[in-house]
Structure 1
Amino acid sequence: MSFDLVIFDCDGVLVDSEVISCRAHADTLTRHGFPITPDGVLKRFLGVSDREARRIVESEIGRLLPDSFEAEVKHATLSLYADDLSAIAHVGEAITALDLPKCVASSGTPEKIHHGLTCAGLYDQLAPHIFSATQVKRGKPAPDLFLLAATQMGANPARCIVIEDSVAGITGARAAGMTVLGFYGGSHCTAEHEDMLRQAGAAITFADMRQLPDLIAQAGADLQIAD
Protein backbone atom coordinates (compact mmCIF):
# COMPACT_ATOMS: atom_id res chain seq x y z
CA MET A 1 0.00 0.00 0.00
CA SER A 2 1.47 3.35 -1.07
CA PHE A 3 -0.60 5.61 1.17
CA ASP A 4 0.13 6.58 4.76
CA LEU A 5 -3.13 8.42 5.52
CA VAL A 6 -6.77 8.48 4.40
CA ILE A 7 -8.44 11.90 4.75
CA PHE A 8 -12.23 11.97 4.67
CA ASP A 9 -14.38 14.98 3.98
CA CYS A 10 -17.42 14.89 6.28
CA ASP A 11 -20.60 16.28 4.69
CA GLY A 12 -21.62 14.19 1.70
CA VAL A 13 -18.86 11.62 2.26
CA LEU A 14 -19.34 10.34 5.80
CA VAL A 15 -22.75 11.79 6.60
CA ASP A 16 -25.56 12.32 4.10
CA SER A 17 -26.01 15.90 5.22
CA GLU A 18 -25.61 18.17 2.21
CA VAL A 19 -29.33 18.39 1.44
CA ILE A 20 -30.03 19.22 5.10
CA SER A 21 -27.26 21.82 5.31
CA CYS A 22 -28.35 23.48 2.08
CA ARG A 23 -31.92 23.75 3.32
CA ALA A 24 -30.79 25.41 6.57
CA HIS A 25 -28.48 27.83 4.73
CA ALA A 26 -31.08 28.70 2.09
CA ASP A 27 -33.77 29.44 4.66
CA THR A 28 -31.44 31.63 6.72
CA LEU A 29 -29.93 33.50 3.75
CA THR A 30 -33.38 34.18 2.28
CA ARG A 31 -34.58 35.54 5.60
CA HIS A 32 -31.65 37.98 5.57
CA GLY A 33 -32.24 39.33 2.08
CA PHE A 34 -30.31 36.90 -0.12
CA PRO A 35 -33.06 34.85 -1.80
CA ILE A 36 -31.74 31.42 -2.73
CA THR A 37 -33.06 27.87 -2.92
CA PRO A 38 -31.43 24.81 -1.33
CA ASP A 39 -30.41 23.74 -4.84
CA GLY A 40 -28.84 27.14 -5.40
CA VAL A 41 -26.81 26.80 -2.21
CA LEU A 42 -25.69 23.35 -3.33
CA LYS A 43 -24.53 24.56 -6.74
CA ARG A 44 -22.76 27.68 -5.51
CA PHE A 45 -21.30 26.70 -2.15
CA LEU A 46 -20.80 22.92 -2.05
CA GLY A 47 -17.55 22.23 -0.23
CA VAL A 48 -16.87 25.92 0.44
CA SER A 49 -16.22 26.93 4.03
CA ASP A 50 -18.95 28.87 5.84
CA ARG A 51 -16.53 31.78 6.22
CA GLU A 52 -15.85 31.99 2.47
CA ALA A 53 -19.53 31.54 1.58
CA ARG A 54 -20.41 34.41 3.91
CA ARG A 55 -17.76 36.62 2.29
CA ILE A 56 -19.23 35.93 -1.16
CA VAL A 57 -22.78 36.68 -0.06
CA GLU A 58 -21.81 39.90 1.72
CA SER A 59 -19.90 41.04 -1.36
CA GLU A 60 -22.97 40.45 -3.55
CA ILE A 61 -25.52 42.14 -1.30
CA GLY A 62 -23.20 45.02 -0.44
CA ARG A 63 -23.57 44.77 3.32
CA LEU A 64 -22.60 42.61 6.24
CA LEU A 65 -24.80 39.81 7.47
CA PRO A 66 -25.75 40.09 11.17
CA ASP A 67 -23.39 38.79 13.84
CA SER A 68 -25.98 36.15 14.67
CA PHE A 69 -25.94 34.63 11.17
CA GLU A 70 -23.66 31.67 11.85
CA ALA A 71 -25.52 30.85 15.06
CA GLU A 72 -28.83 30.92 13.20
CA VAL A 73 -27.53 28.57 10.47
CA LYS A 74 -26.01 26.27 13.07
CA HIS A 75 -29.23 26.10 15.07
CA ALA A 76 -31.29 25.35 11.96
CA THR A 77 -28.84 22.71 10.77
CA LEU A 78 -28.48 20.89 14.06
CA SER A 79 -32.25 20.88 14.55
CA LEU A 80 -32.67 19.15 11.18
CA TYR A 81 -29.81 16.74 11.93
CA ALA A 82 -31.64 15.34 14.92
CA ASP A 83 -34.51 14.11 12.75
CA ASP A 84 -33.10 13.55 9.26
CA LEU A 85 -29.36 12.81 9.33
CA SER A 86 -27.93 9.40 8.48
CA ALA A 87 -24.53 7.99 7.62
CA ILE A 88 -23.61 7.44 3.99
CA ALA A 89 -24.56 3.83 3.22
CA HIS A 90 -21.83 1.30 4.10
CA VAL A 91 -19.28 3.96 5.11
CA GLY A 92 -18.88 2.54 8.63
CA GLU A 93 -17.91 -0.86 7.24
CA ALA A 94 -15.52 0.78 4.76
CA ILE A 95 -13.77 2.71 7.55
CA THR A 96 -13.38 -0.48 9.58
CA ALA A 97 -11.94 -2.33 6.58
CA LEU A 98 -9.19 0.25 5.99
CA ASP A 99 -5.96 -0.75 7.72
CA LEU A 100 -4.54 2.76 7.50
CA PRO A 101 -4.51 5.86 9.69
CA LYS A 102 -7.62 7.96 9.05
CA CYS A 103 -8.80 11.47 9.80
CA VAL A 104 -11.50 13.98 8.86
CA ALA A 105 -10.91 17.36 7.18
CA SER A 106 -14.16 19.29 6.91
CA SER A 107 -15.31 22.80 6.03
CA GLY A 108 -17.78 22.61 8.92
CA THR A 109 -17.32 23.97 12.43
CA PRO A 110 -16.03 21.57 15.10
CA GLU A 111 -19.49 21.49 16.73
CA LYS A 112 -21.23 20.70 13.46
CA ILE A 113 -18.74 17.95 12.58
CA HIS A 114 -19.00 16.40 16.05
CA HIS A 115 -22.78 16.53 16.05
CA GLY A 116 -23.08 15.13 12.53
CA LEU A 117 -20.68 12.23 13.12
CA THR A 118 -22.32 11.46 16.45
CA CYS A 119 -25.85 11.44 14.98
CA ALA A 120 -24.61 9.15 12.20
CA GLY A 121 -22.87 6.79 14.64
CA LEU A 122 -19.39 7.41 13.20
CA TYR A 123 -17.70 9.66 15.74
CA ASP A 124 -15.96 6.93 17.73
CA GLN A 125 -14.47 5.44 14.56
CA LEU A 126 -12.68 8.67 13.65
CA ALA A 127 -12.10 10.68 16.85
CA PRO A 128 -9.93 12.41 17.86
CA HIS A 129 -8.39 12.96 14.42
CA ILE A 130 -10.90 15.55 13.22
CA PHE A 131 -9.86 18.86 11.63
CA SER A 132 -12.03 21.87 10.79
CA ALA A 133 -11.62 24.80 8.41
CA THR A 134 -11.87 27.04 11.48
CA GLN A 135 -8.30 25.90 12.31
CA VAL A 136 -6.75 27.43 9.18
CA LYS A 137 -6.63 30.86 7.56
CA ARG A 138 -8.07 29.66 4.25
CA GLY A 139 -10.66 26.92 3.85
CA LYS A 140 -11.29 24.79 0.78
CA PRO A 141 -10.53 25.24 -2.13
CA ALA A 142 -7.21 26.31 -0.62
CA PRO A 143 -4.91 23.44 0.42
CA ASP A 144 -4.42 24.68 3.99
CA LEU A 145 -6.83 22.31 5.75
CA PHE A 146 -5.45 19.22 4.02
CA LEU A 147 -1.87 20.25 4.78
CA LEU A 148 -2.82 20.82 8.43
CA ALA A 149 -4.33 17.33 8.62
CA ALA A 150 -1.22 15.76 7.07
CA THR A 151 1.09 17.65 9.42
CA GLN A 152 -0.92 16.77 12.52
CA MET A 153 -1.06 13.11 11.47
CA GLY A 154 2.66 13.00 10.60
CA ALA A 155 2.07 12.09 6.95
CA ASN A 156 3.73 13.22 3.74
CA PRO A 157 1.06 14.96 1.61
CA ALA A 158 2.20 12.98 -1.43
CA ARG A 159 1.28 9.79 0.44
CA CYS A 160 -2.20 10.95 1.48
CA ILE A 161 -5.43 9.97 -0.25
CA VAL A 162 -8.51 12.17 0.14
CA ILE A 163 -12.17 11.18 -0.21
CA GLU A 164 -14.18 14.18 -1.42
CA ASP A 165 -17.54 14.97 -2.98
CA SER A 166 -17.02 18.59 -4.03
CA VAL A 167 -15.02 20.52 -6.60
CA ALA A 168 -13.74 22.82 -3.86
CA GLY A 169 -12.48 19.85 -1.84
CA ILE A 170 -10.84 18.16 -4.80
CA THR A 171 -9.20 21.41 -5.83
CA GLY A 172 -7.78 21.92 -2.35
CA ALA A 173 -6.53 18.36 -1.99
CA ARG A 174 -4.88 18.44 -5.40
CA ALA A 175 -3.23 21.76 -4.53
CA ALA A 176 -1.86 20.03 -1.42
CA GLY A 177 -0.24 17.39 -3.64
CA MET A 178 -2.60 14.59 -2.61
CA THR A 179 -4.43 11.88 -4.55
CA VAL A 180 -8.22 12.33 -4.53
CA LEU A 181 -11.11 9.91 -4.96
CA GLY A 182 -14.40 11.57 -5.94
CA PHE A 183 -17.53 10.20 -4.24
CA TYR A 184 -20.90 10.84 -5.84
CA GLY A 185 -23.19 8.56 -3.83
CA GLY A 186 -24.77 11.17 -1.54
CA SER A 187 -28.43 12.11 -1.88
CA HIS A 188 -27.41 15.59 -3.09
CA CYS A 189 -25.56 14.28 -6.16
CA THR A 190 -27.09 14.86 -9.58
CA ALA A 191 -26.49 12.98 -12.82
CA GLU A 192 -23.69 15.42 -13.69
CA HIS A 193 -21.85 15.07 -10.39
CA GLU A 194 -19.46 12.29 -11.42
CA ASP A 195 -18.24 14.16 -14.49
CA MET A 196 -17.83 17.33 -12.43
CA LEU A 197 -15.58 15.49 -9.95
CA ARG A 198 -13.50 13.97 -12.74
CA GLN A 199 -13.02 17.35 -14.38
CA ALA A 200 -11.90 18.78 -11.04
CA GLY A 201 -9.10 16.20 -10.88
CA ALA A 202 -10.41 13.13 -9.04
CA ALA A 203 -8.20 10.16 -9.89
CA ILE A 204 -11.13 7.74 -9.51
CA THR A 205 -14.86 8.35 -9.01
CA PHE A 206 -17.29 6.00 -7.25
CA ALA A 207 -20.78 5.91 -5.75
CA ASP A 208 -20.69 2.89 -3.42
CA MET A 209 -18.62 2.96 -0.22
CA ARG A 210 -18.23 -0.82 -0.37
CA GLN A 211 -15.78 -0.17 -3.21
CA LEU A 212 -13.56 2.13 -1.16
CA PRO A 213 -10.93 -0.31 0.22
CA ASP A 214 -10.29 -1.80 -3.22
CA LEU A 215 -10.19 1.63 -4.87
CA ILE A 216 -7.60 2.87 -2.38
CA ALA A 217 -5.52 -0.24 -3.08
CA GLN A 218 -5.88 0.42 -6.83
CA ALA A 219 -4.86 4.06 -6.48
CA GLY A 220 -1.91 2.99 -4.32
CA ALA A 221 -0.75 0.54 -6.99
CA ASP A 222 -1.03 3.29 -9.61
CA LEU A 223 1.02 5.59 -7.39
CA GLN A 224 3.75 2.95 -6.99
CA ILE A 225 3.95 2.52 -10.75
CA ALA A 226 4.24 6.30 -11.20
CA ASP A 227 7.03 6.43 -8.63
Structure 2
Amino acid sequence: MPIDLIIFDCDGVLVDSEVISCRAHADVLTRHGYPITSEQVFERFLGRSTRQANLEIESELGRKLPDAYHGDLQDELFRSFEANLEAIRGIHDVLDVVTQAVCVASSGSHQRMRVSLGSTGLYERLAPKIFSASQVTNGKPAPDLFLLAAAEMAVPPHRCVVIEDSLAGIAGARAAGMTVFGFHGGSHCRDGYAETLHRAGTDLTFADMRQLPELLRRVEADALAG
Protein backbone atom coordinates (compact mmCIF):
# COMPACT_ATOMS: atom_id res chain seq x y z
CA MET A 1 0.00 0.00 0.00
CA PRO A 2 1.18 3.57 -0.58
CA ILE A 3 2.53 5.56 2.34
CA ASP A 4 0.31 8.57 3.01
CA LEU A 5 1.59 9.76 6.39
CA ILE A 6 4.96 9.94 8.15
CA ILE A 7 4.64 10.12 11.95
CA PHE A 8 7.81 11.43 13.56
CA ASP A 9 8.69 10.96 17.19
CA CYS A 10 10.19 14.18 18.54
CA ASP A 11 13.06 13.60 20.98
CA GLY A 12 15.96 11.80 19.33
CA VAL A 13 14.29 11.86 15.91
CA LEU A 14 13.54 15.50 15.10
CA VAL A 15 15.75 17.07 17.76
CA ASP A 16 18.93 15.66 19.28
CA SER A 17 17.62 16.03 22.81
CA GLU A 18 17.92 12.69 24.56
CA VAL A 19 21.38 13.17 26.10
CA ILE A 20 20.33 16.61 27.37
CA SER A 21 17.01 15.29 28.66
CA CYS A 22 18.43 12.23 30.43
CA ARG A 23 21.09 14.35 32.13
CA ALA A 24 18.52 16.91 33.29
CA HIS A 25 16.16 14.23 34.62
CA ALA A 26 18.98 12.49 36.48
CA ASP A 27 20.28 15.70 38.05
CA VAL A 28 16.88 16.93 39.23
CA LEU A 29 15.66 13.53 40.45
CA THR A 30 18.86 13.06 42.44
CA ARG A 31 18.46 16.51 44.03
CA HIS A 32 14.95 15.54 45.09
CA GLY A 33 15.89 12.30 46.82
CA TYR A 34 15.85 9.72 44.02
CA PRO A 35 19.50 9.02 43.13
CA ILE A 36 19.79 7.97 39.49
CA THR A 37 22.29 8.33 36.66
CA SER A 38 21.59 9.66 33.18
CA GLU A 39 22.38 6.16 31.85
CA GLN A 40 19.71 4.66 34.11
CA VAL A 41 17.20 7.27 32.96
CA PHE A 42 17.99 6.29 29.37
CA GLU A 43 17.56 2.57 30.03
CA ARG A 44 14.34 2.87 32.01
CA PHE A 45 12.41 5.82 30.68
CA LEU A 46 13.44 6.57 27.09
CA GLY A 47 10.34 7.10 24.96
CA ARG A 48 7.92 6.93 27.87
CA SER A 49 5.80 9.81 29.10
CA THR A 50 6.81 11.86 32.13
CA ARG A 51 3.54 10.82 33.75
CA GLN A 52 4.38 7.13 33.48
CA ALA A 53 7.94 7.66 34.69
CA ASN A 54 6.78 9.71 37.67
CA LEU A 55 4.25 7.08 38.71
CA GLU A 56 6.97 4.41 38.70
CA ILE A 57 9.37 6.60 40.67
CA GLU A 58 6.74 7.58 43.22
CA SER A 59 5.81 3.92 43.70
CA GLU A 60 9.43 3.13 44.54
CA LEU A 61 9.78 6.16 46.81
CA GLY A 62 6.51 5.49 48.59
CA ARG A 63 5.60 9.16 48.31
CA LYS A 64 4.74 11.82 45.78
CA LEU A 65 7.51 13.78 44.16
CA PRO A 66 7.41 17.31 45.59
CA ASP A 67 5.79 20.11 43.62
CA ALA A 68 9.19 21.79 43.37
CA TYR A 69 10.53 18.82 41.40
CA HIS A 70 8.25 19.45 38.44
CA GLY A 71 9.14 23.14 38.23
CA ASP A 72 12.85 22.45 38.69
CA LEU A 73 12.81 19.82 35.94
CA GLN A 74 11.02 22.06 33.49
CA ASP A 75 13.40 24.94 34.21
CA GLU A 76 16.46 22.71 33.78
CA LEU A 77 15.16 21.13 30.57
CA PHE A 78 14.13 24.38 28.94
CA ARG A 79 17.36 26.15 29.93
CA SER A 80 19.40 23.29 28.48
CA PHE A 81 17.32 23.09 25.31
CA GLU A 82 17.63 26.78 24.60
CA ALA A 83 21.39 26.70 25.20
CA ASN A 84 22.41 23.43 23.56
CA LEU A 85 19.68 21.77 21.50
CA GLU A 86 20.14 21.12 17.80
CA ALA A 87 17.90 19.63 15.16
CA ILE A 88 18.76 16.15 13.91
CA ARG A 89 21.14 16.61 10.98
CA GLY A 90 19.28 16.60 7.68
CA ILE A 91 15.72 16.85 9.03
CA HIS A 92 15.03 20.24 7.45
CA ASP A 93 16.23 18.91 4.09
CA VAL A 94 13.94 15.90 4.43
CA LEU A 95 10.91 18.04 5.26
CA ASP A 96 11.66 20.05 2.11
CA VAL A 97 11.37 17.04 -0.19
CA VAL A 98 9.04 14.37 1.23
CA THR A 99 5.71 14.28 -0.57
CA GLN A 100 3.72 12.53 2.17
CA ALA A 101 1.85 14.32 4.93
CA VAL A 102 3.87 14.57 8.15
CA CYS A 103 3.03 14.93 11.83
CA VAL A 104 4.60 14.48 15.27
CA ALA A 105 3.59 11.99 17.99
CA SER A 106 5.64 12.45 21.16
CA SER A 107 5.60 11.36 24.78
CA GLY A 108 6.61 14.94 25.63
CA SER A 109 4.17 17.67 26.55
CA HIS A 110 3.03 20.33 24.09
CA GLN A 111 4.89 22.95 26.13
CA ARG A 112 8.11 20.97 25.93
CA MET A 113 7.73 20.56 22.16
CA ARG A 114 7.06 24.26 21.70
CA VAL A 115 10.45 24.89 23.29
CA SER A 116 12.44 22.05 21.70
CA LEU A 117 10.97 22.31 18.21
CA GLY A 118 10.82 26.08 18.44
CA SER A 119 14.50 26.43 19.31
CA THR A 120 15.46 24.43 16.20
CA GLY A 121 13.12 26.09 13.70
CA LEU A 122 10.87 23.06 13.43
CA TYR A 123 7.78 24.12 15.35
CA GLU A 124 6.52 26.53 12.71
CA ARG A 125 7.10 23.87 10.04
CA LEU A 126 5.09 21.18 11.83
CA ALA A 127 2.41 22.93 13.90
CA PRO A 128 -0.44 22.29 14.39
CA LYS A 129 0.13 18.65 13.38
CA ILE A 130 1.75 17.87 16.72
CA PHE A 131 0.30 15.28 19.12
CA SER A 132 1.30 14.59 22.71
CA ALA A 133 0.84 11.66 25.09
CA SER A 134 -1.06 14.13 27.30
CA GLN A 135 -3.93 13.79 24.80
CA VAL A 136 -4.45 10.05 25.38
CA THR A 137 -5.11 7.79 28.35
CA ASN A 138 -2.18 5.46 27.69
CA GLY A 139 1.14 6.66 26.31
CA LYS A 140 3.77 4.62 24.53
CA PRO A 141 4.19 1.59 24.44
CA ALA A 142 0.39 1.57 24.02
CA PRO A 143 -0.78 2.36 20.46
CA ASP A 144 -3.17 5.13 21.54
CA LEU A 145 -1.02 8.13 20.57
CA PHE A 146 -0.21 6.79 17.11
CA LEU A 147 -3.85 5.93 16.47
CA LEU A 148 -4.86 9.43 17.56
CA ALA A 149 -2.36 10.96 15.15
CA ALA A 150 -3.57 8.81 12.25
CA ALA A 151 -7.21 9.59 13.01
CA GLU A 152 -6.57 13.34 13.25
CA MET A 153 -4.66 13.22 9.97
CA ALA A 154 -7.41 11.06 8.38
CA VAL A 155 -5.02 8.29 7.29
CA PRO A 156 -5.56 4.55 7.93
CA PRO A 157 -2.90 3.07 10.24
CA HIS A 158 -1.62 0.63 7.62
CA ARG A 159 -0.70 3.58 5.37
CA CYS A 160 1.42 5.25 8.05
CA VAL A 161 5.18 5.01 8.65
CA VAL A 162 6.44 5.84 12.14
CA ILE A 163 10.02 7.09 12.69
CA GLU A 164 11.09 6.07 16.21
CA ASP A 165 14.23 5.75 18.28
CA SER A 166 12.80 4.15 21.44
CA LEU A 167 11.68 0.64 22.29
CA ALA A 168 8.46 1.96 23.80
CA GLY A 169 7.69 3.88 20.62
CA ILE A 170 8.42 0.89 18.40
CA ALA A 171 6.10 -1.29 20.48
CA GLY A 172 3.34 1.32 20.28
CA ALA A 173 3.65 1.76 16.52
CA ARG A 174 3.61 -1.99 15.92
CA ALA A 175 0.55 -2.36 18.14
CA ALA A 176 -1.12 0.36 16.04
CA GLY A 177 -0.53 -1.71 12.88
CA MET A 178 1.92 0.73 11.34
CA THR A 179 5.24 0.33 9.54
CA VAL A 180 8.14 1.34 11.81
CA PHE A 181 11.55 2.70 10.84
CA GLY A 182 14.10 2.64 13.67
CA PHE A 183 16.31 5.74 13.69
CA HIS A 184 19.67 5.52 15.46
CA GLY A 185 21.37 8.73 14.37
CA GLY A 186 20.96 10.68 17.61
CA SER A 187 23.92 11.36 19.89
CA HIS A 188 22.38 9.09 22.55
CA CYS A 189 22.55 6.00 20.30
CA ARG A 190 25.45 3.76 21.28
CA ASP A 191 27.22 1.04 19.33
CA GLY A 192 24.84 -1.82 18.73
CA TYR A 193 21.70 0.26 19.12
CA ALA A 194 20.60 -0.50 15.55
CA GLU A 195 20.45 -4.18 16.45
CA THR A 196 18.48 -3.33 19.59
CA LEU A 197 15.92 -1.50 17.46
CA HIS A 198 15.83 -4.36 14.97
CA ARG A 199 15.14 -6.90 17.72
CA ALA A 200 12.34 -4.67 18.99
CA GLY A 201 10.54 -5.15 15.68
CA THR A 202 11.41 -2.31 13.32
CA ASP A 203 10.89 -2.90 9.62
CA LEU A 204 14.28 -1.31 8.95
CA THR A 205 16.87 0.85 10.70
CA PHE A 206 18.87 3.87 9.53
CA ALA A 207 21.26 6.43 11.01
CA ASP A 208 21.23 9.31 8.52
CA MET A 209 17.94 11.20 8.29
CA ARG A 210 18.80 12.22 4.74
CA GLN A 211 18.25 8.57 3.73
CA LEU A 212 14.57 8.73 4.63
CA PRO A 213 13.08 9.82 1.27
CA GLU A 214 14.85 6.96 -0.55
CA LEU A 215 13.83 4.45 2.12
CA LEU A 216 10.20 5.52 1.75
CA ARG A 217 10.40 5.10 -2.04
CA ARG A 218 11.97 1.67 -1.61
CA VAL A 219 9.29 0.46 0.80
CA GLU A 220 6.52 1.66 -1.51
CA ALA A 221 8.18 -0.01 -4.53
CA ASP A 222 8.58 -3.28 -2.63
CA ALA A 223 4.92 -3.18 -1.62
CA LEU A 224 3.82 -2.66 -5.22
CA ALA A 225 6.09 -5.45 -6.46
CA GLY A 226 5.01 -7.90 -3.77
Category of TM-score, reference length = shorter chain: over 0.9
* TM-score after normalising by structure 1: 0.96
What residue is the counterpart of 1:9 in the other structure?
9
Task: State the 1:225 CA deviation.
Answer: 4.5
* 2:142 is the alignment partner of 1:142: yes
- Deviation of residue 63 (structure 1)? 1.6
Deviations 1:86-111 (A, max 9, x none): 00001110111100110000000101
- In 1, distance between residues paired with 2:88 and 2:70? 25
Amino acid at match of 1:53: A
Q: How many residues align?
A: 226
What residue number does 2:153 align with?
153
Aligned partners of 2:25 and 2:125: how far apart in 1?
Answer: 28
Q: Percent identity?
A: 55
1:161-207 Cα distance to aligned partner (Å, 9 max, x none): 00000000000000000000000000000012111110111101000
Q: Which residue of 2 is the match for residue 29 of structure 1?
A: 29
Q: Match of 1:113? A: 113
Deviation (angstroms), 1:34:
1.2
Deviations 1:109-147 (A, max 9, x none): 101111111111111221110000000011111100000
2:212 aligns to what? Answer: 212
Q: Which residue of 1 aligns with 2:65?
A: 65
Could you tell me which residue of structure 2 aligns to residue 168 of structure 1?
A: 168
Distance 1:26 1:36 in 2: 5
Alpha-carbon distance in structure 2 between the residues aligned to 1:46 and 1:173: 15
Residues 32-69 of structure 1, C-alpha deviations (whole Å, 9 max, x = no match): 21111111111111101101111111112222111333
The letter for the 2-side match of 1:9 is: D
Bigger shift: 103-112 or 120-129? 120-129
Residue range with higher mean Cα deviation, 116-125 or 157-166: 116-125
Long gaps (5+) in structure 1: none
CA–CA separation in structure 1 for the residues paired with 2:74 and 2:214: 36
Q: Look up the SS of the partner of 1:163 in the other structure.
A: strand
Equivalents in 1 of 2:212, 2:111: separation in Å?
Answer: 27
Amino acid at match of 2:14: L
Quick check: 1:125 aligned with 2:90? Answer: no
Alignment partners' CA distance in 2, 1:222 and 1:200: 22
Give secondary structure in 2 for the equivalent of 1:35.
Answer: coil
Q: Find the aligned partners of 1:218 and 1:68 in 2 and give their Cα distance.
A: 49
Query: What pairs with 1:30-45 in structure 2 (closer than 5 Å)?
Result: 30-45=30-45
Indicate the residue corresponding to 1:54 in structure 2.
Answer: 54
Separation in structure 2 between the aligned mates of residue 222 and residue 182 of structure 1, nearest angstrom? 18
Give the aligned partner of residue 20 of structure 2: 20
The letter of the residue matching 1:164 is E
Native 8 Å contact 2:164 2:182 kept in 1: yes
The aligned residue for residue 182 of structure 1 is 182
Aligned to 1:77: 77
CA gap of 1:49–1:225, structure 2 versus 1, over 3 A, is: farther
CA distance in 2 between partners of 1:18 and 1:53 (Å): 15
CA distance in 2, matches of 1:46, 1:203: 20
SS in 2 for 1:162: strand
Secondary structure at the aligned position of 1:131 is classed as: strand
